[in-house]
Amino acid sequence: MKNRRRLLDSAIPSLFLPVLAPVPTISASADIAAKNTEIPVAGTSFKKTIAGSPRKDANNTPTPKNQNHCLETPTKQKRKFSPIPDTPSAFDTPVKKHLCRRIIELNNVVNKKDKKIKKLSDSNRRLKRQIVSLKSLLAKLVNKNLRLMST
């Protein structure tokens, strides 16, 4: 029990894993498959060969549909999202209820932080404008003071 690994508080369970499609095998072309070829057998010397023809599988031939399906990334595939209930009472297991409460709590924390950041950026913007106006006022006063001293 001591050496058990624990998740961090920032760990997020991933529900949408990439969907892996079977890779189509590339079969020999029709003209090669029709000919008898010499196929070396494993475990025998290289001189001994067995005459035969490679298997021709119609099911494994790559089609444009299969190739496009295999080349798509998980982000391009459309996923069906089921609506997530907003209340913990909508879930049937205690674990799911706890996770829902935790999601609601974390959403509130994020919203509070966003509001705080917005307030700080607004005050920062206002203070920058004040600094610019005070610098220009200071420059005017310095020029005015220099003129008075020179006269």
Task: Summarize pLDDT for 40-55 with one digit per residue, the tens.
Answer: 555 555 555 455 555 5
The DSSP output letter for 90 is G
In a domain? residue 136:
yes
Domain carrying residue 102: 91-151
Query: 5 by DSSP, 3-state: which?
Result: coil
For residues 141 and 105, membership in a common domain is answered with yes
Query: Stretch 105-120: mean pLDDT, rounded?
Result: 95
What confidence tens digit (pLDDT) does each residue in 57-105 have? 455 555 555 555 555 555 556 666 666 677 888 888 888 888 889 989 9
Are 51 and 99 found together in one domain? no
Kindly report the pTM of this predicted structure.
0.39
Q: Which residues contact 52 (CB under 8 A, 6 or more apart)?
A: 36, 37, 39
Q: What digits encode the pLDDT tens for the residues 27-43?
A: 555 555 555 555 555 55
Please state the domain count of the chain: 2
Domain presence at residue 44: yes
Distance (Å, rounded) from C-alpha 84 to C-alpha 100?
9
The answer to the question of residue 57 being in a domain is: yes
